[in-house]
Chain A
Amino acid sequence: MSERATPAIELRGVNLHRGDVRVLEEVDLRVERGAFLAVLGPNGSGKTTLLRTILGLIEPQSGQVQVLGGTPAQARGRVGYVPQRAAFDLDFPIRSGDVVLMGRLARRRWLRRYDASDHAAAQNALETMEVAHLADRPVGALSGGELQRVLIARALAMEPELLLLDEPTASLDERIGRGVWEILEELSHHITLVLVSHDIGAISHYVRDVACLNRRLHMHPDGELTDEILEATYGCPVDLLAHGHPHRVLSPHGEDGGHS
């Protein structure tokens, strides 16, 4: 298939600055279809900006961005997005189930109401994220972790080819957080996943590739991540950051053996 030949994401020489502040500098990134990539970087390193660039929500001053073989605008509706913080007003009058149903916007034509297949997809996504029982609850009444799951469910309801997640487990507690990791791992066999996080400890061994971002991006295929690279990215000793699990990122080869 020719679709297979084009990568899910390809960035070439992307430069983005806001006023005098350089946010992304000469970023090259190639993400193959089916990849499960984690982009690590400290706060303010441009992670969210990177995702928003891939989504076409912001345009870089120079460089090329290709998503699913076209421009970000052409890929709209096939790329799911889970923002770090809700971009909306939590007091907005809407039930969680209707938020998830919004994931079907791209599939439903103008002037048409959501049909049975949309409701089925939304229900499916709610069940996958184990929040089906919250469908009738207003979004404002959800806890942080519940809201995070509803937002992931909304992205899943899109049935996207590529899913971008911004700090997906930041507001989940350890136990629930692991559940989300298992769901993501399961998903990664069907679609391309890219997540960004500032927390090295949060990157589980499910992730297959790792990149480090601090304005500039360094790819580390197969999770090869050395202390030197992390130090260069974060600008301080890794032990301090990894906080007791310094080798969590390095371990996938031996431990689960499941990656290709």
Chain B
Amino acid sequence: MSEALATPFFQRVLIAALLASIACGVIGSYVVAKRISSLCGGLAHAAFGGVGLGYLLGFSPMLGAAGAGLLASAIIGTAYRRLGSSLDTVISLVWSVGMALGVLFVALAPGYTPDLSSYLFGSLLLVPWEYVALVGMLDLGVVGTAWLLHKELQAVAFDEEFAEVSGLPVEPLFLLLLGLSALSIVTLIRVVGIILAIALLTIPAVIARQWRNTLGGIMGVAIVVCAASLVAGLLLSWQLSVSGGISLPPGPLAILGLAIAYASSSVARRLRD
């Protein structure tokens, strides 16, 4: 374990994982408290359309994913505020249209599409320093926003009607929250991939919710849980490859670890009550 920490490669991956945990814990707490994880599932999958467009037109697929995620959050966010009951349909549409476009764009893209699977399944071990810098900036944005707009975001997450009555611009604030969710999800795509991004975003906050009764408290615990699961996944992945010669990606290991942690936490919670 100590030799792992001594290698620059491992250090870079570790820093990336810890930084991703911050945005993940803060945004995941809002998502879980407001029960909008299905919305965020839509955002994650819609982002694949942007990945495909990036391959087709030759710009960074990550940039494409961010653009598509933001566009999807604008569509779903507006639908959420105005449509009510038909929201489900809108989410499924955005979800599947994003994926379909992504697949078509990739098929149209000239030549070989390198590391396409890293967007679907993640590739934490391959993240470059630019990615680490990107996640660092996102953290600043997310934590800064949550700090400065804490009372407004909390009000909109808790009770939109009362926030409206108090004169808050509820729709812009909700779209801001969804936009930040989209950006956080896009960074998590490199960690665990589109398919598992929602799990990494929400399970730590769900576990934290079992032990904390305020948004701030949940955020703190969720960050720690998310970081712990990723570090555990990384160490296990390292250990397996060094001693057993088995090469397993750390992201899915972290997700399985989170599932076990959730089950244990639920049992512990029940025993304590």
Question: In whole angstroms, what is the CA distance A30 to B227 when docked?
Answer: 59
Q: How far is the CA of A79 from the CA of B164 in the complex (A)?
A: 11
B224 to chain A, nearest CB (A): 16
Q: Is the C-beta of A83 less than 8 angstroms from some C-beta in chain B?
A: yes
Contact A102:B161 (CB < 8 A) given known A94-B214, A94-B215, A95-B214: no
Cβ B165 vs Cβ A81 within 8 A: yes
Per-residue contact bits, chain A 59-99, to B (CB 8 Å; 1 contact, 0 not): 00000000000000000110101010011110011110011
Q: Is B267 part of the binding interface, using a Cβ–Cβ cutoff of 8 Å?
A: no
CA of A74 to CA of B160, assembled, Å: 18
Please name all residues of chain B whose beta carbon is closer than 8 Å to the beta carbon of A103 when the two chains form the complex.
Answer: 166
Closest to A75 in B: B167
Let me know if B157 and A92 touch, CB within 8 A. yes
B residues 138-165 in Cβ contact with A at 8 Å: 148-152, 154-155, 157-165
A-B interface contact total, Cβ < 8 Å: 76
Residues B165 and A114 in contact, CB atoms below 8 Å apart: no
State the CA gap A88–B156 with chains docked (Å).
Answer: 10
Contacting A77 at CB < 8 Å: which of B149, B160, B166?
B166
B209 at the interface (CB under 8 A from A): yes
Size bracket of the A interface: 20 to 34
Kindly provide the distance from the CB of B30 to the nearest chain A CB, expressed in whole angstroms.
Answer: 10
Given the complex, which residues of B lie within 8 Å of A76, measured CB to CB? 164-167
Q: Contact residue range for chain B?
A: 20 to 34
User: Does chain A have a CB within 8 A of B212?
Assistant: yes
Q: How far is A138 from B163 in the complex, measured between Cα atoms in Å?
A: 19
Residues in chain A near residue B212, CB distance under 8 A: 93
Contacts of A83 in B (CB 8 A): 161-162
B168: interface (CB < 8 Å): yes
B35 touches A93 (CB 8 A): no
Minimum CB–CB distance from A231 to chain B (whole Å) comes to 34
- Provide the residues of chain A in CB contact with B148, threshold 8 Å: 111
Question: B162, A95: Cβ atoms under 8 Å?
Answer: no
Q: Name the A residues within 8 Å of B155 (CB-CB).
A: 102, 105
**In the assembly, what is the distance between CA of A94 and CA of B155, in Å?**
10
When the two chains form the complex, which single residue of A57, A93, A105 contacts B213, counting CB atoms closer than 8 Å? Answer: A93
Decide: B158 and A102 in contact? CB cutoff 8 A: yes
CB < 8 Å neighbour of A113 from B151, B162, B165, B215: B151
| Interface contact B151-A105, CB-CB below 8 Å | yes
In the bound complex, residues from chain B placing their C-beta under 8 Å from that of A94 are: 154, 158, 213-215
- Chain A to chain B contacts (Cβ below 8 Å), 26 pairs: A76-B165, A76-B167, A77-B166, A79-B165, A83-B161, A86-B159, A87-B160, A88-B158, A88-B159, A89-B34, A89-B35, A93-B214, A94-B213, A94-B214, A99-B158, A102-B155, A102-B159, A102-B162, A102-B166, A103-B166, A105-B151, A110-B152, A113-B151, A114-B151, A154-B162, A158-B166
Pick the 4 closest A-B CB pairs, nearest first.
A76-B167, A105-B166, A88-B159, A77-B167
